[in-house]
């Protein structure tokens, strides 16, 4: 079956057809000189699981092409009889219209509504914790303890803080005024944006869905959450929970895959919040640009760890393990991606990591119940390709075992893989960890800066000068010294990327601000209306106005007396 369509209104050509027996390709060609739009078609039916992979082919000088390839390992499960009907992509415009109408009634703006919805989330997590934990296990084999600490407890904490601080966050902020506006007062008023879209990801499918929604609700918006179809059990549970615990006139969940996401992205939102890869982030940003919709992009990148030779080796190794294999088995945007150490120190670090892995996960990590599996067969195959690349397969110093049936790969460490290997060119997002050696640890700064800005950079050292140089000279979304990943637990710190790793930030009040417009308001009375601002512009008026604009009280007094410094 082939399908093609040309929309002359926006200059877009869409082709959908069977690429081979099991793969459907959806190609969206957009004329570079006109408005951009996105569309897609439903995947070919199959009994196998599937997940979406998106790619940007090389483009010619006139047209740009976006291809969405759906492989057999990525097709979402077919709905069985009795289950909730899937979202019809054609309903996307009416969905947005309903939410905007609900927003315009003003109900979401009230403090009472915001609190009621936040309390609904709090109650939801409290009452359905077991269901949430089970869903995370079914999707990712995520250990119960890890699910609680990294997802359930984190959501509870965000909700509690929002409830505690909401009144303060909603208060207008006083602002200073200038002499030119005297007498006056000013303030910055936080107002909700309207109807917002949150597109979440699969690796922390509960936390990364709910956390932005908490910010959107706290700020007084109507919100649609599109969870990831790659974590289908959690996605289905979120849809059920939102319907049960939250106000469906203003807070919705849309389940689905590429067609549903594409349909949502075609709509005019007041903000889009996306968590995922830089590649798909570009698609989201291009779609948003059509409507001048602002975006927050929480992306990823290759997060480095620099290890100096003066560290507490055992503590350092344990914290690196916690930031890699205890973190969803490396499937996290803030996960340790590669290590930089000196040639002399690297063997000691490898021994410490090997011992730590055995201590935490046993002699055979493949059988450990404390480590997550790879999310899907497609991602497993991608990691296998990285493992088996001819440039790196002989560089393995720890691990390397794999089990495709169980979707498990052991914690694997490489030493001195080539810089041009795929392992060092793309974000790993899995249990593979290369160690790069340098002559001097100071060389690590130039090495990191030679790559796109990471979401986070880590440094282990007792050297104050090295620490200062690292903080001042490494550009990244965030930074942790002598630990990994814990910065995300500090709500007073903004979490977000820079450059390739994203734009915008959230957590704590930063989440509230991400979904708010900061409206500037100046208040004046009818008194103090000086004639100096109005024609005719006499020499005396000019002197006085110049004195006022310069802001010097002495000059103003001189001007009022008819004098000047000249």
Let me know if 122 is a catalytic residue: no
- Find the catalytic residue in 298, 427, 453, 500: 298
Instruction: Label residue 68 left, alpha or beta by phi (over 0 means left) and psi (-120 to 50 means alpha).
Output: beta
| Percentage of the residues of the chain whose pLDDT score is greater than 70 | 82
Read off the pLDDT band of 51 (50, 70, 90). very low
Overall average pLDDT of the 387-405 stretch = 94
Cis status, amide bond into 549, omega within 30 of 0: no
Read off the pLDDT band of 23 (50, 70, 90). very low
- Identify the DSSP state of 376: -
Read off the pLDDT band of 552 (50, 70, 90). low
- Find the catalytic residue in 146, 333, 453, 476: 333
The closest of 105, 150, 138, 107 to 407, measured between CA atoms, is 138
pLDDT digits (tens, 9 = 90+) for 128-155: 999 999 999 999 999 999 999 999 999 9
Let me know if 229 is a catalytic residue: no
pLDDT digits (tens, 9 = 90+) for 187-236: 999 999 999 999 999 999 999 999 999 999 999 999 999 999 999 999 99
CA angle 432, 139, 505 (to 5 degrees): 70
Say if residue 238's pLDDT is above 80.
yes
Centre a 10 Å sphere on the Cβ of residue 518 and count the other Cβ atoms it contains. Answer: 10
Read off the pLDDT band of 240 (50, 70, 90). very high
Q: What is the per-residue DSSP string for 194-212?
A: SEEEEE--SSSTTHHHHHH
Q: Which residue has the tokens 């109807």?
A: 195
Overall average pLDDT of the 287-294 stretch = 97
- Which of 214-228, 285-299, 407-421, 536-550 bottoms out in mean pLDDT, i.e. has the lowest? 536-550
Overall average pLDDT of the 109-115 stretch = 98
Cα 163 off chain centre by: 23
Helices (H), 294-373: 313-322, 346-361
- Spatial contact of 396 and 414, defined as CB atoms under 8 Å apart: yes
Q: What is the pLDDT of residue 26?
A: 43
pLDDT digits (tens, 9 = 90+) for 526-543: 987 878 788 888 887 777
Q: What is the pLDDT of residue 450?
A: 95
Overall average pLDDT of the 160-170 stretch = 98
Q: What is the pLDDT of residue 560?
A: 57
- How many alpha carbons fall within 13 Å on the CB side of residue 335? 23
- How many alpha carbons fall within 13 Å on the CB side of residue 188? 10
- Spatial contact of 285 and 297, defined as CB atoms under 8 Å apart: yes
Say if residue 19's pLDDT is above 50.
no
Q: What is the pLDDT of residue 365?
A: 95
Q: What is the pLDDT of residue 314?
A: 97
Read off the pLDDT band of 546 (50, 70, 90). confident
Partners of residue 503 on adjacent β-strands: 297
Q: What is the pLDDT of residue 408?
A: 96
Q: What is the pLDDT of residue 545?
A: 73
The closest of 425, 251, 402, 268 to 338, measured between CA atoms, is 425
Say if residue 39's pLDDT is above 60.
no
Read off the pLDDT band of 29 (50, 70, 90). very low
Whole-model pTM: value is 0.82
Q: Which helix (H) or strand (E) holds 192?
A: strand 184-192
Q: What is the pLDDT of residue 465?
A: 97
- Identify the DSSP state of 392: T
pLDDT digits (tens, 9 = 90+) for 442-500: 999 999 999 999 999 999 999 999 999 999 999 999 999 999 999 999 999 999 999 99
């Amino acid at each position: 079956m082939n399908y093609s369509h040309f929309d002359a209104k926006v200059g877009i050509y869409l082709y959908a057809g069977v690429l081979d027996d099991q793969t459907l390709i959806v190609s969206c060609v957009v004329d570079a000189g006109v408005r951009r739009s996105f569309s897609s078609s439903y995947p070919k039916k199959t009994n196998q699981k599937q997940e979406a992979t998106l790619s940007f082919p090389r483009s010619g000088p006139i047209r740009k092409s976006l291809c969405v390839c759906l492989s057999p390992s990525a097709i979402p499960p077919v709905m069985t009889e009795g289950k909730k009907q899937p979202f019809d992509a054609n309903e996307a415009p009416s969905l947005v219209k309903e939410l905007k109408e609900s927003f315009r009634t003003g109900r979401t703006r009230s403090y009472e509504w915001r609190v009621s919805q936040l309390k609904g989330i709090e109650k939801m997590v409290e009452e359905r914790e077991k269901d949430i934990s089970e869903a995370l296990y079914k999707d990712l084999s995520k250990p119960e303890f890890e699910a609680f600490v990294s997802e359930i407890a984190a959501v509870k904490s965000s909700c509690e803080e929002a409830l505690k601080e909401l009144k303060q966050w909603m208060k207008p902020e006083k602002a200073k005024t200038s002499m030119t506006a005297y007498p006056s007062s000013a303030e910055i008023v936080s107002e909700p944006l309207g109807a917002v879209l949150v597109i979440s990801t699969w690796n922390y499918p509960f936390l990364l869905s709910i956390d932005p929604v908490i910010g959107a609700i706290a700020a007084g918006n109507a919100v649609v959450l599109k969870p990831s179809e790659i974590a289908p059990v959690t996605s289905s549970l979120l849809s059920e929970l939102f319907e049960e615990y939250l106000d469906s006139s203003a807070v919705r969940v849309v389940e689905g895959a590429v067609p549903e996401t594409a349909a949502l992205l075609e709509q005019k939102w007041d903000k889009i919040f996306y968590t995922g890869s830089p590649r798909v982030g570009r698609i989201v940003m291009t779609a948003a640009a059509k409507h001048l919709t602002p975006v927050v992009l929480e992306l990823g990148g290759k997060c480095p760890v620099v290890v100096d030779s003066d560290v507490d080796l055992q503590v350092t190794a344990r914290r690196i393990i916690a930031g890699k294999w205890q973190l969803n088995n490396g499937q996290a945007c803030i996960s340790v991606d590669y290590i930089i150490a000196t040639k002399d120190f690297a063997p000691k670090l490898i021994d410490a990591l090997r011992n730590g892995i055995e201590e935490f996960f046993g002699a055979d990590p493949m059988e450990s119940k404390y480590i997550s599996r790879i999310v899907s067969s497609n991602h497993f195959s991608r990691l296998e390709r990285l493992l088996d690349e001819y440039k790196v397969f002989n560089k393995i110093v720890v691990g390397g075992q794999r089990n495709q049936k169980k979707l498990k790969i052991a914690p694997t460490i490489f030493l001195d893989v080539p810089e041009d290997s795929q392992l060092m060119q793309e974000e790993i997002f899995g249990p593979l960890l290369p160690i790069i050696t340098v002559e001097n640890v100071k060389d690590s700064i130039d090495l990191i800066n030679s790559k796109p800005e990471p979401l986070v950079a880590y440094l282990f050292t007792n050297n104050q000068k090295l620490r200062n140089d690292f903080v001042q000279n490494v550009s990244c979304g965030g930074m942790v010294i002598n630990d990994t990943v814990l910065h995300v637990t500090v709500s007073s710190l903004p979490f977000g990327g820079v450059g390739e790793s994203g734009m915008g930030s959230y957590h704590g009040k930063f989440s509230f601000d991400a979904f708010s417009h900061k409206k500037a308001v100046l208040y004046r009375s009818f008194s103090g209306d000086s004639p100096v601002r109005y024609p005719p512009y006499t020499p005396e008026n000019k002197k006085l106005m110049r004195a006022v604009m310069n802001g010097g009280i002495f000059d103003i007094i001189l001007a009022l007396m008819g004098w000047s410094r000249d």
